[in-house]
């Protein structure tokens, strides 16, 4: 993907067009006041929304854009507003677009590539390849629906879950894990990993087809609230700051806001999205639920979610080996369902777990 920069008068407007775009495309947002040519020169596309900018800000912007000779510059304006169109041309924006999310996303994907698409290892079996591509498209549709408040493509999600189940059966878990982990997006990779573990675990537990599907749906949707968090934070190569981590921890609350009032979302799927960070001893978040308040399907997802987050490769942390990750879950005696955890072993180990090596826990985003 090519680099995209978004330049706006007010970066703190969290519900603005650009904050939505930066949740679906790898784009960095800059404030007009602070931006300079050096910050933008590595971008292939610069998109500017200068609504409510002052004359001095427009002059500054014009000076910056004049130095970017290799970059496509797009202005997001109200095309029926003649003054905005004239101003946009005066500051040197090469192309103008209506200030509209759908149109802007289509344009940026054409120019810079689709963030949702993954380049899979050549050795990926055909059926697994097809299932991963299908899942990526579904995850992308989910994110777009969550951002634009359109109905969730629940039939596509269910069909993706069916393909995950089928390829786990035909090509095996290892092929799924390798293919999925090649995705550049932490969230895409993580959700598809959790889905793989969840449906495999559900089958092992002898759950009904319906429950297996619900778990798969829940796994693909479980972190949907992360669409409210910029990809620059979710995919940050280094450690998160305290503030960034606090924002990421709000994702179950964002999931609640996104999923509430959607008749197409099954209650069990909604519970998984809202409660997968709750712990049996009441120390989880966001509600501090405990014991019987946490359903069987949520408990299963929590185990798959923690295990997946611990074993995922991230640039800012070591990935735990399966035994170490299992050991950490095993030490969460009061927090996760230990009976289920014992039954989880065959999903992740081909042989017996044996001795568990432990090392100090690092902060893990899931
Ligand atoms: Fe989560
Ligand atoms: Fe998660």
Reported as a single tens digit per residue, the pLDDT across 278-289 is 999 999 999 999
Q: Which helix (H) or strand (E) holds 309?
A: helix 296-311
Catalytic residue flag (residue 226): yes
User: Cα(305) to centroid of ligand 2, in Å?
Assistant: 5
Domain 4-112 has CATH 3.40.50.150: no
Burial class (CB in 10 A: 0-12, 13-18, 19+), 90: exposed
Rounded average pLDDT over 270-280: 97
User: Cα(190) to centroid of ligand 2, in Å?
Assistant: 7
For the chain, the domains span 4-112, 126-348
* Alpha carbons 33 and 112: distance in angstroms, whole number: 25
Fold of 126-348: Hypothetical protein af1432 (1.10.3210)
The band of 236, judged by pLDDT with boundaries at 50, 70 and 90, is confident
Give first-to-last CA distance, the chain, whole Å.
24
* Alpha carbons 322 and 350: distance in angstroms, whole number: 11
The band of 360, judged by pLDDT with boundaries at 50, 70 and 90, is low
Q: Of the listed 62, 89, 150, 226, which one is catalytic?
A: 226
What is the per-residue pLDDT across 168-196, written as a single tens digit (0 to 9) for each? 999 999 999 999 998 888 889 999 999 99
User: Cα(191) to centroid of ligand 1, in Å?
Assistant: 9
Torsion angles phi and psi, residue 114, rounded to 5 = -95, 120
């Amino acid at each position: 993907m090519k680099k995209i920069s978004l330049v706006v008068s007010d970066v703190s407007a969290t519900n603005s067009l650009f904050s939505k775009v930066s949740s679906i495309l790898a784009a960095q947002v800059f404030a007009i006041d602070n931006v300079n040519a050096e910050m933008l020169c590595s971008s292939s596309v610069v998109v500017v929304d200068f609504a409510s900018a002052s004359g001095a800000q427009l002059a500054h912007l014009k000076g910056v854009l004049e130095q970017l000779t290799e970059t496509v510059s797009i202005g997001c304006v109200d095309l029926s507003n003649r003054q905005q169109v004239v101003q946009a041309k005066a500051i040197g924006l090469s192309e103008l677009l209506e200030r509209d999310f759908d149109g802007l996303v289509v344009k940026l994907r054409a120019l810079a590539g689709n963030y949702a698409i993954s380049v899979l290892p050549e050795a990926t079996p055909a059926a697994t390849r097809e299932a991963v591509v299908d899942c990526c498209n579904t995850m992308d549709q989910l994110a777009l629906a969550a951002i634009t408040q359109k109905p969730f493509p629940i039939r596509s999600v269910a069909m993706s879950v069916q393909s995950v189940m089928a390829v786990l059966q035909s090509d095996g878990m290892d092929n799924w894990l390798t293919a999925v982990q090649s995705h550049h997006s932490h969230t895409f990779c993580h959700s598809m990993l959790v889905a793989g573990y969840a449906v495999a675990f559900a089958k092992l537990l002898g759950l009904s087809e319906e429950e297996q599907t619900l778990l798969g749906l829940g796994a693909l949707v479980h972190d949907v609230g992360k669409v409210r968090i910029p990809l620059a934070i979710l995919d940050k190569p280094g450690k998160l700051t305290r503030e960034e981590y606090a924002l990421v921890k709000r994702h179950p609350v964002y999931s609640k806001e996104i999923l509430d009032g959607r008749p197409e979302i099954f209650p069990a799927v909604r519970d998984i999205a809202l409660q997968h960070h709750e712990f049996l001893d009441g120390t989880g978040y966001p509600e501090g639920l405990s014991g019987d308040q946490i359903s069987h399907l949520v408990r299963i997802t929590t185990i798959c979610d923690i295990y997946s987050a611990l074993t995922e490769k991230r640039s800012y942390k070591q990935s735990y080996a399966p035994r170490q990750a299992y050991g950490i879950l095993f030490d969460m005696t009061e927090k996760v369902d230990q009976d289920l955890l014992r039954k989880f072993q065959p999903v992740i180990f081909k042989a017996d777990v044996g001795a568990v090596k432990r090392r100090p826990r690092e902060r893990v985003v899931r």
